[in-house]
């Protein structure tokens, strides 16, 4: 059985980068949304005044006041289509990890699938019911299978995950997303994994 073959250096870097990113975001949010004013010996938080229009980003593409910039960033982040792209990538990586019996990598990918979908439904709450069914019917059984060592039923859980994906697409009336199951696409996938 193959175990985790991925660099521990990149695994250590990700949490540090994530922590720095979260800290920077928190500081910007506090600065942008509040300011401290002194009232006698007390401090009170008051709304920040609307910042004057300015530009930011490469070549100044992010323009307007703070609210306009946030709206533009939200539009660029989009909704489920971006999340589905990432989930599709991680789904393929999960299949590959299962084929290689790299259970640490498989567990990492299923966790990221869940996180990505949970964040996506914050942006598109009307999709939350279908997403939660997918998590319960597809993601959680896969996580449970990967928690048991040695992993015995990866293929069955992966087929269950695939069925849950397709059922979610059907519930959301997105039949164009109902591509053939991963096993049917294996030959094209294998071309990228063999030498």
Dihedral, CA of residue 181, residue 184, residue 188 and residue 189, to nearest 10: 50
- For residues 144-155, give the mean pLDDT: 92
Question: Does residue 116 register a pLDDT over 60?
Answer: yes
Count Cβ atoms below 10 Å from residue 36 Cβ, excluding itself.
Answer: 9
d(CA 151, CA 101): 8
Better-predicted residue by pLDDT, 23 or 116: 116
pLDDT over 80 (residue 115)? yes
Domain extent listing, the chain: 8-77, 80-190
* pLDDT in the model for residue 81: 84
pLDDT, position 78:
79
Cα torsion for 88, 89, 94, 95, to the nearest 10°? 80
**pLDDT computed for residue 9 by the predictor:** 40
In this model, does residue 19 exceed pLDDT 50?
Answer: no
Q: For residue 46, name the pLDDT band (cuts at 50, 70, 90).
A: low
> Which has more confidence, 161 or 61?
161
Closest CA to 127 of 90, 97, 83, 160: 83
Predicted pLDDT of residue 1: 53
Q: What pLDDT, in 10s, does the model give residues 58-108? A: 678 888 888 988 888 888 877 788 899 899 999 999 999 999 999 999 999
**Which residues, including other chains, have CB under 8 Å from residue 43's CB and lie 6 or more apart?**
36, 37
């Amino acid at each position: 059985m193959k175990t985790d073959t991925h660099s521990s250096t990149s695994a250590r870097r990700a949490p540090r980068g994530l922590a720095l990113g979260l800290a920077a975001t928190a500081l910007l949010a506090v600065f942008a949304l509040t300011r401290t004013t002194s009232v006698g010996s007390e401090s009170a938080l008051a709304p920040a005044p609307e910042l004057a229009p300015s530009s930011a980003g490469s070549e100044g593409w992010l323009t307007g006041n703070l609210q306009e910039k946030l709206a533009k960033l939200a539009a660029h982040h989009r909704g489920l289509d971006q999340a589905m792209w990432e989930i599709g990538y991680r789904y393929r990586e999960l299949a590959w990890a299962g084929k290689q019996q790299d259970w640490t990598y498989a567990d990492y990918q299923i966790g990221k699938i869940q996180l990505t979908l949970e964040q996506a439904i914050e942006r598109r709450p009307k999709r939350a019911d279908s997403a939660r069914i997918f998590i319960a019917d597809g993601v959680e059984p896969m996580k449970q299978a990967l928690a048991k060592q040695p992993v015995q039923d990866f293929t069955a859980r992966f087929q269950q995950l695939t069925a849950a994906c397709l059922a979610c697409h059907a519930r959301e009336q997105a039949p164009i997303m109902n591509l053939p199951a991963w096993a049917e696409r294996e030959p094209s996938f294998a071309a990228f994994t063999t030498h």
